[in-house]
Amino acid sequence: MRIFPDPNIAIPLPKGFSWGTAAAGIRYKNRDDLAVIDPGCEATAAAVFTQNTFCAAPVRVSREILSASKGRIRGVVVNSGCANAATGEQGLRDARAMAEELGKCLAPSGKTHCLVCSTGTIGVRLPMEKVLPAIHAAVANRSESAPGFLAFARAILTTDTREKYAWKVLTIAGKPVTILACAKGSGMIYPRMATLLGFVATDAELPPETAQTLLRYAVNRSLNCLTVDADTSTNDTTILLANGASGASIQDIDSADGQCFAEALTEVLQCLARQLARDGEGATKLIEITVREARSYEEAHQVAMSIANSNLVKTAIYGRDANWGRIVCAIGNSGVSLEPERVRVRLGDLLLFEKGEPVPFDEGVALQVLSEEFVPITVDLGLGENSATAWTCDLTEKYVEINGAYRT
């Protein structure tokens, strides 16, 4: 399975969008750390945010702006290197100033709404004297090209080792519509009705309420099924911008076009979820956990996330140890009412556990499955017809090393 996009395939670009970046010198040296998206006009915007009570200033400000603007947004500004979280009143003022500065750059009157995101260390103030000029620089160098998009995808990274992006082109009412998305995040990842930082650009035309419903639908089936370390960050935000430049309009998620778009958006975000898991801090493997035969989607999801969050499952897979006992243990800890005798556990195609007992298996075949970069685990609960999938990575010494020394 190919996890990251093939660099030899041209990235399709949604019409009218441009991306710009600049080096503000916030924390990292010799790289761009500030980025803007310009949808080319006032666009429909939808967003999901972290549920962390200590949500960062940009989350609070973007929530306010999204509500005040009734979902019509002129642009987005993002910085890496500083989360602007736990920074008190001054942090709120700084986040508002960033959004307003972008508004001034993109609309001559300045009377428009922009959103703002930050990611990086908690509890440190933004160096606004560097950030504000960098917004101007990023707007000035913005471009509608694939390199422009890739520079954006790179500027938002922190401990990530690479850009993560995905796309889908579909046809709505005979017109091509493009969905192009990127995301950052490799630690502090356990989205509770939210995500890391994710940005989705589409040239479909969407009413704000439809956009919000579509984004929520797709996030619940993708970024909300992802965990690296079961820690929801203070800054998680995913924003969808729809500028309507394709001329194709989707009014309702329940229409055929709406369903088509919902599935495409879900696929794009699932593709990002897999990339995010694989690029988890210190990870060597992407683990995909599919739970089937559940009474409901929610119960399947709960079991899948319980396995995905188990440090013991994650270390065993890192050690290429087919220690299915830990998977069974994690299933038993999910809180879902189960009948242990009906549960089956598979590693790849290899059956490991059935009827409450271990199944003798070929350790060589298990080792082969565990030696791959992509490790699929399947659990059948034997209780119903619903399925869910969760994504995570293995837990390695490198994770500890990275996180033992992040701030200092």
DSSP-derived secondary structure letter, 224:
G
CA distance to 7, 13, 145, 167, 168, per residue, from 10 (Å): 7, 9, 11, 11, 12
**b or e along 35-66 (b: 16 or more beta carbons within 10 Å of the residue's beta carbon)?**
bbbbbbebbbbbbbbbebeebbbbbbbbeebb
Task: List the one residue from 323, 342, 348, 365 that touches a second copy (CB under 8 A).
Answer: 323
Catalytic, 195? Answer: yes
Residue 277 CA to residue 185 CA, distance in Å, equals 9
Q: How far is the CB of 162 from a second copy (least distance, A)?
A: 21
Q: Does 239 bind a second copy (CB under 8 A)?
A: no
Q: Which residues are bridge partners to 177 per DSSP?
A: 170
Dihedral (CA of 150, 151, 153, 159) sign: positive
Q: Please, which residues have CB within 8 angstroms of residue 129's CB and are 6 or more apart in sequence?
A: none
In the sheet that 75-82 helps form, which strands lie side by side, from edge to edge?
Answer: 18-22, 34-38, 75-82, 114-121
How wide is the angle at C-alpha 402 spanned by C-alphas 398 and 406, nearest 5°?
A: 175
Contacts of a second copy in 149-188 (CB under 8 A): 187-188
Annotated active-site residue in 21, 178, 195, 232: 195
Task: List the one residue from 3, 23, 86, 365 that touches a second copy (CB under 8 A).
Answer: 86
Task: List the one residue from 246, 309, 378, 392 that touches a second copy (CB under 8 A).
Answer: 309
Annotated binding site for substrate: which residue ranges?
158, 184, 195, 281, 403, 408
Q: How far is the CB of 364 from a second copy (least distance, A)?
A: 12
Q: How far is the CB of 80 from a second copy (least distance, A)?
A: 15
Instruction: Give the residue with the Cβ less far from a second copy, 306 or 389.
Output: 306
| Residue 204 DSSP SS3 | coil
Q: How far is the CB of 206 from a second copy (least distance, A)?
A: 31
Q: Does 298 bind a second copy (CB under 8 A)?
A: no
Residue 123 CA to residue 125 CA, distance in Å, equals 7
Q: Does 5 bind a second copy (CB under 8 A)?
A: no
Token pair for residue 232?
């929801």
Contacts of a second copy in 112-131 (CB under 8 A): 121-124
Instruction: Give the residue with the Cβ less far from a second copy, 12 or 88.
Output: 88
Contacts of a second copy in 11-40 (CB under 8 A): none
Instruction: Give the residue with the Cβ less far from a second copy, 246 or 306.
Output: 306
DSSP string, 103-114: HHHHSTT--S-E
Instruction: Give the residue with the Cβ less far from a second copy, 33 or 229.
Output: 229
* Nearest C-alpha neighbor of 173 from the set 89, 253, 281, 248: 248
Task: List the one residue from 13, 172, 273, 395 that touches a second copy (CB under 8 A).
Answer: 395
Instruction: Give the residue with the Cβ less far from a second copy, 234 or 266.
Output: 234
Instruction: Give the residue with the Cβ less far from a second copy, 89 or 129.
Output: 89
Q: How far is the CB of 325 from a second copy (least distance, A)?
A: 3
Q: Does 296 bind a second copy (CB under 8 A)?
A: no
Task: List the one residue from 312, 342, 351, 361 that touches a second copy (CB under 8 A).
Answer: 312
Q: Does 213 bind a second copy (CB under 8 A)?
A: no
Task: List the one residue from 146, 193, 260, 329 that touches a second copy (CB under 8 A).
Answer: 329
Q: How far is the CB of 165 from a second copy (least distance, A)?
A: 26
Q: List alpha helices for 171-296, DSSP H.
A: 208-220, 256-278
Contacts of a second copy in 352-371 (CB under 8 A): 353, 355-358
Instruction: Give the residue with the Cβ less far from a second copy, 11 or 230.
Output: 230
In the sheet that 175-184 helps form, which strands lie side by side, from edge to edge?
Answer: 72-73, 43-49, 237-242, 197-202, 175-184, 164-172
Compute and round to an integer the Cα radius of gyration of the chain.
Answer: 22
Q: How many CB atoms lie within 10 A of CB 146?
A: 15
Cite the active site residues: 195
Q: Which residues bind a second copy (CB under 8 A)?
A: 52-55, 83, 85-90, 121-124, 187-188, 192, 229-234, 309-312, 315-316, 318-319, 321-326, 328-334, 336-338, 340, 353, 355-358, 395-397, 399-401, 403-408
